[in-house]
Each structure stands twice: as structure tokens, then as C-alpha cells.
Amino acid sequence: MSEMPPASFRGFRILFVIAAIWNFAGALPGLFDTAGMFEREFGRALTDPVMVAVYRGAWGTAFLYGFGFLMAVRDPVRHAGIVLMGGAGKALFALNLYFMFQAGWTSSFAIVVIGGDILFVLLFAAYFVQLKRAGHSLL
């Protein structure tokens, strides 16, 4: 098994720091101003207390993924599974949000979220290609 080149290692560590910040930047307002974040994203008020709890829970998941990405900063090779889960979450969320945007259910703010998450998915794919080339298992 070959080692991951040091330059790639550093670059991926930086990527995971940025991914963590991206997640925290969405999750913190989503956790502490749930209704406000919903209104920015969907252009309508969130008043049902059950839906507030569900939406806040989704942001809680994004918050936890942020800590997962910070774990990957410490050891990008060992924590590939965390990156895989986080990347799959970003891909599925972006796809779902895209369909909601196409249906007219979201505000234009959703484009920022979709674009950012897709960019991370592509960069995570490059990370997995680099891991594989270095002879590491992807899981």
C-alpha cells in the first residue's frame, strides 16, 4: 500500500475543515433560529411545532456531520467512512433540494445550498479517487 502524497493529504485536511465550517454555518442558524432558516430557504413561514422540531432535527444531523468532518481532518485515511456518509448525505440533500427548487417549493437561497453541497460531493469524490490510487481501502 502506498502512502497518500503529503500535498494531497494537506489539501484534503483543508477541504474537511472547510466542509465542517460549511456544515456549522448552516446548522447553527438552523438549530437556533429554525423558523427563520426555514423561511430563508423555503420563502414561507414555519409555524407547525412538529415541523419545527423535524426541521431542527435535520439541522442537528448537519451539525453532527460537521464534527465528523473535523475527525477526518485529524486522519483523512482512517475516517474515510465518515466522509462517505457525509458526502452521501450532501448528495441526497442537494438532489432533494434541487427537486423542491424545480417544483417552486424553495427560495433562490436553495441554489447556494445545492451548489455548495454538489461542490463538496465532487471534491469528496476526488478524495476517494486519491485514496484508491494510494492503495487504501475506501471503507
Q: Does 113 reside within a domain?
A: yes
- When divided into structural domains, the chain yields a total of 1
Supply the pLDDT for residue 9.
Answer: 77
Q: Does 1 reside within a domain?
A: no
- Collapsing DSSP to helix, strand or coil, 79 comes out as coil
Question: Does the pLDDT of residue 138 top 90, yes or no?
Answer: no
Q: Does 100 reside within a domain?
A: yes
Q: Does 70 reside within a domain?
A: yes
Q: Does 110 reside within a domain?
A: yes
Q: Does 138 reside within a domain?
A: no
Q: Does 102 reside within a domain?
A: yes
pTM of the entire predicted model: 0.88
Residues 49-75, buried b or exposed e (16+ Cβ, 10 A)?
eeeeeebbeebeebbebbebbbebbee
CA neighbor of 81 nearest in space, from 139, 121, 125: 139
> Which residues form the domain of 113?
6-133
pLDDT digits (tens, 9 = 90+) for 37-58: 999 999 999 999 999 999 999 9
